[in-house]
Amino acid sequence: MCGITGWIDWRKDLTGYPSILENMTETLHLRGPDASGTWISQHCALGHRRLSVMDPENGAQPMVRKQGDYTYTIVYNGELYNAPELKKELELRGHHFRTTCDTEVLLVAFIEWGRACVDRLNGIFAFAAWNDQEQSLYLVRDRLGVKPLFYSHQNSVLLFGSEPKAILAHPDFEAEVGAEGLAEIFAVGPARTPGHGIYRNMSELKPGQCAVFDRNGLSIRTYWKLESHQHSDDIAATALQVQQLLRDTSQRQLVSDVPICTLLSGGLDSSALTALASAHYKNSGQGALHTFSVDYKDNDKHFKANIFQPNSDAPWIKRMTEHLGTEHHYIEFDTPELVESLKTAVFARDTPGMADVDGSLYLFCREIKKEATVAISGEAADEIFGGYPWFHNEEALAAGTFPWSLKLNNRVDLLAPDFVDWIKPVEYVSNRYQQALSEVPRLAGETQQQNRMREMSYLNITRFMPTLLDRKDRMSMAVGLEVRVPFCDHRLVEYVWNIPWEIKTSGDREKGILRKALQGVLPDDVLTRKKSPYPKTHNPNYLAAVRKWVLEILDDPSSPLLPFIDVKKIRALASSESNDFDLPWFGQLMTGPQLFAYLAQVDTWLRSYKISIR
C-alpha cells in the first residue's frame, strides 16, 4: 500500500514547480514510509510514497514504461490479487517484465488493454495512469472503495490524492467548507455521502468509478455496480459457493514478501479468516500465524452486556488461539493515550471521525506495525451478510432513515438554531436517504419484505461500509500498516448480494449462511457465538476526560465550534452525571462519551486545518 498524488494543469509548465509536488507527496509519508518518488512533465506531475510489500528492491514509483512511440507513467496504491494470472496472460501477448511487483503488471495491463484493463482487475486499488502522447490521465478506484482517491477539478486544473491532505497542500487550494460540508459533519457524520469530499471543490471518486482528464475536461463513468438477478442455488450449494469464494480470496490475500498477521476478536468473521490463514501457513510450512487483539485497561471491571455488545471478546480470543495454535499478541490501552489519540485520528482522516473507535484502531495498528507490515481483517462481513442488529430490528427497518443514525433529532437539538436553519440537517439527511434508495437495483417479483431487505443491504454496502473502510484505511496507513479485507472481494459481494434473505438468515440466525459455510472451519461454539462489535472502552475515566475536554472548549470564546452548537445544552449535558445519549446515536458504539469526543474532534479539525466557512 502507498500514497499517491498528482497535479495536471494545462495552463502552466509544471517542470517549474517541483517543490509544490514534493510538498503534496510529503503529506503522505506516513502511508509510504519506505520510499518517495516524483515525476514531472510539462502538464502532469505525479507523486508517490511507498510502503514496500511486493518486490521491495524493484517496485519504485512513479513507474515509467515505453511501448513503441508511447510513454506511460503510473502511480498506484493497492494490491492486485490476480497479478500472477494477468502477468502470464500478458507474457503470452509478448510483454516482458523486469520486476515481480504488481505495479508493473498493472502498468503493462494498461498499455495492453487501455482503459478496459480495469475490468480484469481483482484487488484493492486506486491508481493514476498518464498517457504522454494522448496527454490524458486515467484515474481508477476499486469496486468496493477499499482504497481512497480524492480529487479537485477546477477549470483546467486537476489535483488528486490518496487523502485530502495532499490536495490541501497545494497553494491554490483553500480549506473551505460550506453548508453542505457542514451538514455532512453535523448530520451525516461520521459517515459520509459517497463521492463527497467535505471541503468545497473537493470530491471523491466513488467506488467502482474511473475518470479521464484531458484537454476536453473531466469525464467520469461507473465501470462496476451491484446488479440484481435471481438466485438459483439451494442452501447447501450456496454455503459451498460462499466457502469456496472465501477460501480463494483469503489465499490470494496471504501473498506477500513481508510478514502478515490477522486481527482476531474471537468473533465469527475474524475467526474465520484467522482459521483459513493459519491453515495456509501450516500447509506452506511458514510456521505459526501471528494474531493480534485489542482491549482497554480495566474493561473487565466495567463491561456491562447490552443488545449491541452481548459479551466480551477475551474468552473467545483464548478459545481460538488455543484451537489454532497461533502466536497471539494482546494489546491493551489506558484512558490517557486513548484521549490523546482523538487528535491524531483527526489528522489521519483530515476530518472528524469515529472518535475513540478511530483512535483505538490507530493505537492498535501502531502496535501491530512493530511486528508486521500486512494484516488481515474481517471488515465488511456484517454489511454483506446482514449481521448488524438493525437488519433484524423492526423499529430500524421501519424508521425511514439510515438505521445506524436513528437519533438525528437528538443531535439536531444540540445545534445552534441559526445554524440549523442554514444547513437544514433533517431535510439534508432525508434527501440523502432517498437518493440512496433511488439507486437500489430492484428485482421484479420480490415481496415487500424481500425488497426492504435488499434496500437495507444496499444502504449498508454503499453508505455504512465506506465509513468503516475509511476508518480502517486511514488509521492503519497512518502508521504504515497495510490491512487487507477479504470479505470485500467483489466476486463474493456480487454472489452474496443476490442470496435471498431467507437463505442469508438460514437457521434463523444473523449471517446464517456464513455460519453454515464455515462448518468444519470453526469450532461449533465459535460458529454460534452472538455478534459483538469492535471493542470500546467502558472505563468511566474516559467519559470524565472527554466531558472535561468539551467543557474547556465551551469556556474558550475563541473556539470555532461554538457558532455551530447550542452551548447551554451541551454544557448541561457535559456537566450532568446522567447520560441522555445512553443508546448509540451513530452505529453501535458511539454513545454519550463518543458524542463529546466527536465534538472535541470537530473543534480540533476547525482549529488545526484553519477551516474557512463559506
As a whole number of Å, the end-to-end CA separation of the chain is: 35
- The answer to whether 92 and 33 have CB atoms below 8 angstroms apart is no
Taking the C-alpha atoms of residue 299 and residue 247, their distance in angstroms, rounded to an integer, is 34
> Does the active-site annotation cover 101?
no
Taking the C-alpha atoms of residue 176 and residue 607, their distance in angstroms, rounded to an integer, is 13
Neighbours of 580 (CB within 10 A): 16
- Any residues with CB less than 8 A from the CB of 154 and at least 6 apart, and which? 201
Grid cell of 449 as nine digits? 419484505
| DSSP secondary structure letter of residue 46 | E
Phi, psi of 537, deg, nearest 5: -75, 140
- The residue among 459, 484, 464 whose CA lies nearest residue 473 is 484
Taking the C-alpha atoms of residue 338 and residue 357, their distance in angstroms, rounded to an integer, is 9
Taking the C-alpha atoms of residue 373 and residue 34, their distance in angstroms, rounded to an integer, is 11
- The conformational region for residue 523 under phi > 0 = left, psi -120 to 50 = alpha, else beta, is beta
- The answer to whether 6 and 153 have CB atoms below 8 angstroms apart is no
- The answer to whether 124 and 376 have CB atoms below 8 angstroms apart is no
Strands of 260-263's sheet, edge to edge?
327-333, 290-296, 260-263, 374-376, 482-484
From 2, 44, 210, 261, active-site residue: 2
- The answer to whether 586 and 595 have CB atoms below 8 angstroms apart is no
Q: What positions carry a catalytic annotation?
A: 2
